[in-house]
Amino acid sequence: MRKWLWILLLAIPLLMAGCRKQQQVDESGYRIWYINQDETCLKYENKELQSKNEEGLLREMMEVMRETPTDDELKPVIPEDVTLLDFDFEHNQLYLDFSPEYKKMPKVYEVLCRAAIVRTLGQIDGVEYVDFQVNGEPLTDLEGKEIGLMNEDQFIENAGEEINAYKTADLTLYFANKAGDKLVGQRVAMEYNSNISLEKLIVEQLIAGPPFEGAYPTIPSETKLLNISIKDNICYVNLDEGFLGTGYNVIESIPVYSIVNSLIENTDAQKVQISINGETNRMFRESINFDTIFEKNEGLIEQ
């Protein structure tokens, strides 16, 4: 049942350099996510659960998500005819195998259902990623590509936002190797709100850092993306001063080409212009001039 679906790593670890899972447990209990009656967004209710161990919490959460919420504007996440056939914990990953009825859900509803399950079960101690299978087969997207391991950050739309218009992306993102002198690529499947541009999604995920073992952050986490756009096949990336920080032990070209290679690999851009607070007359670590329009650097990619 264990399959490493989506992630054919070239060598790497997009969410967090050490996994920044939200443990949403307090005196109010756990957040159980539900779907609104219009089937356009997710909202949660706090529930006190009785189980103390991981398996008990999983079973209890799945049952609670079938129950009618207190809020009349919400409804259960999991349809009555969909059952959980099997599950398995492996390291920080939870593998779920649903009955064939899972595939009968309308696509938008299924995305909401999946997001609710990931957000709810992600509160279980030790669960960083959730994998979906149906009757023993990997869950796939509209193009037939395997969804693979997921966590809540891969549903870019925030709770309460409309997600009727969503897109899927198969991204190759470049992070640093252990020595900090080469880039390693990671394939990641994501579903995101269509209001977010693909180029913005890419840079924000690079800032978030790699989610899997084998690769390391390239961009200081305090970096802010001020704006980004593509015109005439050039991607213009405007970052704040946080990008100039030296928080990670990587050679000077790695942060720059982490962005450049990732954008050119996944968008229509053929070149990238980076600016700091709108200024291109800046130097990066005293050797890289931002007046440069950068092209993809294949030589930095670890083979």
C-alpha separations of 249 from 106, 217, 246, 266 in Å: 46, 9, 8, 26
Position 90 pLDDT exceeds 60: yes
Q: Rounded distance, CA 76 to CA 67, Å?
A: 6
Q: Is the pLDDT of residue 267 over 80?
A: yes
Q: Does residue 224 surpass a pLDDT of 70? A: yes
Decide if pLDDT at 258 tops 80.
Answer: yes
Our measurement of the distance from residue 300's CA atom to the centroid of its chain's CA atoms, rounded to an integer in Å, reads 25
Helix (H) / strand (E) containing 30: strand 29-36
Q: How confident is the model at residue 2 (pLDDT cuts 50, 70, 90)?
A: very low
Residue listed under structure tokens 């809540």 = 152
Among 126, 195, 122, 112, smallest CA distance to 155 is for 112
Domain boundaries, the chain: 25-150, 166-295
For residue 39, pLDDT beyond 90: no
Residues 204-215, mean pLDDT to the nearest whole number: 88
- Non-local (6+) Cβ contacts of 290 within 8 A are 273, 274, 275, 276, 279, 280, 281, 282, 283, 284
The pLDDT confidence band at residue 166, using thresholds 50, 70 and 90, is low
Q: Give how far Cα 117 sits from Cα of 33, 175, 233, Å.
A: 7, 29, 39
Residue 217 pLDDT greater than 90, yes or no: yes
Q: Report the C-alpha dihedral over residues 17, 154, 167, 206, rounded to 10 degrees.
A: -10
How many CB atoms sit inside 10 A of residue 130's CB? Answer: 23
**144 compared with 17, residue with greater pLDDT:** 144
- Residues sharing a CB contact under 8 Å with residue 52, sequence separation 6 or more, in sequence order: none
Sheet arrangement for strand 225-231: 225-231, 234-239, 271-276, 293-294
Kindly tell me if the per-residue pLDDT of 123 is higher than 90.
Answer: yes
Question: Is residue 155 very low, low, confident or very high in pLDDT (cuts 50, 70, 90)?
Answer: low
pLDDT at 264 over 80: yes
